């Protein structure tokens, strides 16, 4: 975010049920609800068609904002957040395995999740960060509630498919890595071709994570579109 802030004004909300943002309604938190939250935030802050950028879960939300409210944003970056637009995406069963302990799971199993995350040093470190973020904001053990609330979101179709991307009127970048197990290049191309004003970037030797090269590709795209289609001045 510090790098983005060198180029833009950055607003980074903690989404419903995450960090310090509560979910007073309880129950599952689905993508249409998150997208509507983003639009409500845009209205509440009086923003003039901001550019929105999301990775993975955030990429799905940003793109659904563009589908549901085409005139609300100026440009969209979808970084590795398009797999669920394929109703047969293998990532859904992968997430059922990770979150529920089985490819056929119908609800979250936090203990199975903790065991899966403990399988590698990288995943263990990420899990500790997730627990610290959520438990520190909303109380010890809240991470269990969080994963229960997001299970349906990560393991089911969001109600929109690749064809719905044609409803987006804002310039949209589809960004992925050539080694991303969740968002393969082939599906990135399909999403890119469905867009009215699409761009596609594939990062070499890159899996499902945010890297400096991904940040730079996003910044270059956003700078081209920050004036609503006019060519922006080159950055320093």
Q: Please provide the DSSP assignment of 153-194 as one string.
A: HHHS--S--GGGGGG--S-EEEEEETT-SSS-HHHHHHHHHH
* Model confidence pLDDT, tens digit, residues 47-57: 999 999 999 99
Say yes or no to pLDDT of 38 above 80: yes
pLDDT at 116 over 90: no
Asked if 170 and 75 count as a contact pair (C-beta separation under 8 A), the reply is: yes
Mean pLDDT of the region 50-75: 97
Residue 235 has pLDDT above 50, yes or no: no
- Nearest Cα to Cα of residue 174 among 89, 76, 67: 76
Q: What is the pTM of this model?
A: 0.92
What is the rounded distance in angstroms from the CA atom of residue 66 to the CA atom of residue 73? 7
Kindly state the average pLDDT of the residues 171-196: 97
Average pLDDT over every residue of 12-24: 93
Alpha helix stretches (DSSP H) within the chain: 2-5, 31-45, 57-68, 90-100, 110-117, 121-138, 142-155, 185-194, 212-225
pLDDT band at 232 (very low <50, low <70, confident <90, very high): very low
How do the domains of the chain map onto residue ranges?
1-87+161-231, 91-156
- Domain 1-87+161-231 belongs to what architecture? 3-Layer(aba) Sandwich (3.40)
What is the tens place of the pLDDT at every residue in 125-137? 889 988 999 999 9
Cβ of 51: how many Cβ atoms within 10 Å? Answer: 21
Average pLDDT over residues 178-205: 97
Number of residues assigned to the chain: 236
């Amino acid at each position: 975010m510090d790098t983005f802030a060198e180029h833009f004004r950055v607003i980074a909300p903690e989404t419903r049920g995450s960090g310090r943002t509560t979910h007073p309604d309880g129950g599952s938190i689905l993508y249409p609800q998150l997208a509507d939250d983003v639009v409500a935030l845009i209205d509440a802050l009086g923003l003039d068609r901001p550019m929105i950028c999301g990775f993975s879960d955030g990429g799905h939300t940003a793109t659904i904002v563009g589908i549901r409210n085409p005139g609300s944003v100026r440009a969209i970056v979808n970084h590795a957040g398009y797999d669920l637009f394929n109703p047969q995406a293998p990532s859904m069963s992968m997430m059922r395995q990770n979150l529920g302990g089985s490819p056929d799971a119908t609800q979250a199993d936090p203990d199975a999740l903790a065991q899966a995350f403990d399988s590698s040093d990288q995943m263990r470190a990420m899990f500790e960060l997730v627990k610290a973020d959520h438990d520190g904001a909303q109380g010890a053990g809240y991470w269990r509630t969080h994963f229960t609330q997001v299970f349906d979101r990560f393991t089911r179709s969001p109600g929109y498919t690749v064809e719905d991307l044609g409803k987006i009127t804002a310039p949209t970048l589809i960004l992925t890595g050539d080694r991303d197990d969740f968002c393969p290049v082939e599906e990135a191309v399909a999403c890119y071709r469905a867009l009215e004003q699409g761009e596609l970037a594939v990062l070499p030797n890159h899996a499902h994570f945010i890297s400096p090269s991904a940040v730079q590709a996003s910044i270059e795209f956003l700078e081209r579109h920050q004036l609503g289609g006019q060519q922006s001045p080159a950055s320093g």
